[in-house]
Structure 1
Amino acid sequence: MFVADDPTVAVSELAAAITGTPPTVLDVRWRLTGSPGRTDYVAGHLPGAVFVDLDTELCGPPGAGGRHPLPEPAELQSALRAAGVRTGHPVVVYDAGDGAAAARAWWTLRWAGHRPTWVLDGGYPAWLAAGLPVTAEVPTPPPGDITVRPGGLPVLDADAAGRLPTAGGLLIDVRAPERFRGEREPVDPVAGHIPGAVNLPTTQHLDGTGRLRDADTVRDRFAEVGLRPDDPVAAYCGSGVTAAHTVLALHRAGRTDAALYVGSWSEWITDPDRPVQR
């Protein structure tokens, strides 16, 4: 239906697809603070799209594992089946435009063993900008039959993330530079970063319209922070959401082996014995 080795799909491609045999479309709009994404969904969404809540359905409850830990497989399977996700049937996820929540949904589906899955490039704003129709009608999808099989994408725990920079790998902190440096921390109670990590904000992989930059440009950005073709590579952020967008960008750059440290900084700092660099 779409390009198999590209993690994103253009608005024009999705618009053409939903007039034929449509993919399953998931609305995962989400905010770190403020009103929940479901409010936006109820006001208007892509035709046929089903809302899935990032906090409560695609992630586990916050705690020692961070603010957005991995979900329990059985609970994730139930949520995805309720949204109509079927084994082997294409899924397209979209968010409010920056791609972070959609990337985490894409990553979670891929981790759960679902193929094929794409992110709508530019999200809901790109759909609106193209003058395409939206609706407030909430569909009732037929039940899906997906079986969640964890392990479809690589994951690092805290110990593995801490070892990576000293083991010849590249650990990328995708947060804003001032958070990486420990000068400002608006979310978590401790400022700083994991020792040995390099900083490459995931926003640098977006163009001015919220779309993912082309593969060569993305590849160049990773090379600038020291990524070599055979180096192990992983990404982390505050809670494993925006880092999933960097994993998406790494996939566009050809690094489908890129790992996500899901617990990220919000898990790292729960253990006072873990070192912090500023």
Structure 2
Amino acid sequence: MSKTIRSLAVVLGLSLTIFALSACGKKEEPKVEVNTKTISTSDLKDKVGKSDWVIVDTRENDAFNGWKLDEVTRGGHIKGATDFSSAWLKVDSKEKDATLDEALKTKGISTDKNVVLYDANGKDAKEVSEYLAKKGYKNLYTYDVKDWAKDTSLDMEAYPNHQMVVPVSWVKDLVDGKKPETYNGKDFKVFEVSWGDETKSPDYLKDGHIKGAVHINTDEIEEGPLWNRLSDDKLIKFAEGKGITLDTTVVLYGPDNTAAYRVASILKYLGVKDVRVLNGGTAKWKAAGYELEKESQKATPVEAFGTTTPLNKGYIIDMPQAKEILADKEGSRLVDIRAWDEHIGKISGYDYIKATGRPAGAVWGHAGKDSSSLQDYRNLDNTMRNKDEIIAMWNEWDIKPDQKLSFFCGTGWRAAEVLLYADVIGVKNASVYDGGWNEWSGNTGNEAGPVETGEPKKQQ
């Protein structure tokens, strides 16, 4: 044997030994047998509402909200069902496991119950059943919701204004020249929204944007130091400059959809009839595998917006109206959409706001872990959380959907997102208090309103 061959043999032997040791040390995931049963429509009818059964919609959040996806004849979910989308299992997040565990708990999906998982494509329910089986769930059933949707005698629930929050497939059809569900076919514009010009936007030119989308810099609709909306005449000029009229279908999205919701609230305030936000934002578009373009797109202005004054002025209110809401302790609520530590006055949440606390009499409406997040209102994939869970959060603090509600945060972004969700689920008398804590605290030298700090008592 030559020296070269002997050397190769030694190297090969060492490699095999290392491989064998690595293989011995590698921890293989135990195989879990997934035993699911199918359930018929007649049997499922008898199980809805029973305490030992839980019905779970595993489809995209949009289908649950009311969209007719995967050839379902009626949009929405089985009345009484909760949601646990298979899309959440694909999210890359350090907090995924903990978030999903908390979601199962909140939704009452537990190992001691019979769990019916339904979809319309034969894939979503399978993925969720495999996930639950690994967690020890035994009594799992699957169902095709298309059968339920065909029978109009069976209850399905679609949110009254679900069309305001749109699925990525809807936007894809729109930009590809098709006429998707609920679109009037007249004129549409797609906008990517974030702070800064398009060269500084987190993804407009660098990573790309939806075909034909024009960038909106949030500085175009608000200004400091209060960061309130611009004057009405300036907002109308903004709309005209972007080619928007009262009859334009406007689709907004962004890397952080809170900015998109902020602009959506402005356009609805002006009176634009058809304002949509892409559910889940840029991340959902990318997750769907749809193409992005990197060319800058410029808006084509229009001569006239269609009105010289806002047609929906009650959608955004100012400090005098906020005080009126606080004075009506029975029929109205000023709802704080900030983190708990902001609400109790532990932090201001903003490096440019010194004062801490909340407007005296305001109630906490939940938000997220800090001033830049809104996890309490979003699913793991940043889609809109379901109506029942939103209302349950409100009920904790005596906030009712039939009251006059005005949402506020620091400067209006987080509150705008919650306002749009309230609109989606059918709340009829809701607004954003535009000045928020920045104005109420007197941070910019204006007269402050009454302030309180500390942990409030729940008003129940």
Do both proteins adopt the same fold according to a TM-score greater than 0.5, normalized to the shorter chain?
yes
- Could you tell me which residue of structure 2 aligns to residue 46 of structure 1? 210
Q: Distance in 2 between matches of 1:113 and 1:193?
A: 31
- Do 2:403 and 2:429's aligned partners in 1 also have CA atoms closer than 8 Å? no
Per the normalisation by structure 2, the TM-score is 0.55
Q: Distance in 2 between matches of 1:122 and 1:275?
A: 37
- Could you tell me which residue of structure 2 aligns to residue 146 of structure 1? 305
- Could you tell me which residue of structure 2 aligns to residue 15 of structure 1? 172
- Do 1:162 and 1:194's aligned partners in 2 also have CA atoms closer than 8 Å? no
Q: Which runs of 4+ in 1 moved over 4 A?
A: none
Which residue identity is paired with 1:12?
Answer: S
Secondary structure of 2:190's aligned partner? strand
Secondary structure of 2:406's aligned partner? strand
Question: Among residues 275, 282, 287, which one is paired with 1:129 in the alignment?
Answer: 287
- Do 1:235 and 1:243's aligned partners in 2 also have CA atoms closer than 8 Å? yes
How many residues in Structure 1 have an aligned counterpart in Structure 2? 268
Secondary structure of 2:293's aligned partner? coil
Question: Among residues 236, 240, 248, which one is paired with 1:77 in the alignment?
Answer: 236
Higher alpha-carbon deviation: 114-123 or 2-11: 2-11
Q: Distance in 1 between matches of 2:173 and 2:401?
A: 36
More strand by share: 2
Larger radius of gyration: 2
Q: Distance in 1 between matches of 2:391 and 2:349?
A: 30
Q: CA deviation at 1:265?
A: 0.7
Q: Distance in 1 between matches of 2:394 and 2:165?
A: 19
- Could you tell me which residue of structure 1 aligns to residue 364 of structure 2? 199
Secondary structure of 2:195's aligned partner? coil
Q: CA deviation at 1:174?
A: 0.4
Per-residue CA shift, 1:75-116, capped at 9, x if unaligned? Answer: 22232222222331210001214x311111110000011110
Per-residue CA shift, 1:137-180, capped at 9, x if unaligned? Answer: 11233323423532415233213313423312111100111011
Question: Among residues 249, 271, 274, which one is paired with 1:90 in the alignment?
Answer: 249
Per the normalisation by structure 1, the TM-score is 0.88
1:155-234 paired onto structure 2 within 5 Å: 155-167=316-328, 168=330, 169-187=332-350, 188-202=353-367, 203=374, 204-234=376-406
Q: CA deviation at 1:221?
A: 2.5
- Could you tell me which residue of structure 1 aligns to residue 450 of structure 2? 275
Q: Distance in 1 between matches of 2:320 and 2:237?
A: 30
Q: Distance in 1 between matches of 2:248 and 2:391?
A: 30
Gaps of 5+ in 2: 1-65, 68-159, 179-186, 368-373, 454-460
State the superposition RMSD in angstroms: 2.3
- Do 2:215 and 2:297's aligned partners in 1 also have CA atoms closer than 8 Å? no
Gaps of 5+ in 1: none
Which residue identity is paired with 1:196?
Answer: G
Q: Percent identity?
A: 25
1:29 counterpart = 2:194: yes
Q: Distance in 2 between matches of 1:156 and 1:139?
A: 33
- Could you tell me which residue of structure 1 aligns to residue 57 of structure 2? none
Q: Distance in 2 between matches of 1:11 and 1:186?
A: 32
- Could you tell me which residue of structure 1 aligns to residue 370 of structure 2? none
- Do 1:88 and 1:114's aligned partners in 2 also have CA atoms closer than 8 Å? yes
Q: Distance in 2 between matches of 1:95 and 1:256?
A: 27
Which residue identity is paired with 1:199?
Answer: W
Which residue identity is paired with 1:160?
Answer: Q
- Do 2:199 and 2:205's aligned partners in 1 also have CA atoms closer than 8 Å? no
- Could you tell me which residue of structure 2 aligns to residue 62 of structure 1? 224
Higher relative contact order (CA 8 A, sep 6+): 1
Higher alpha-carbon deviation: 133-142 or 79-88: 79-88
- Do 1:216 and 1:253's aligned partners in 2 also have CA atoms closer than 8 Å? no
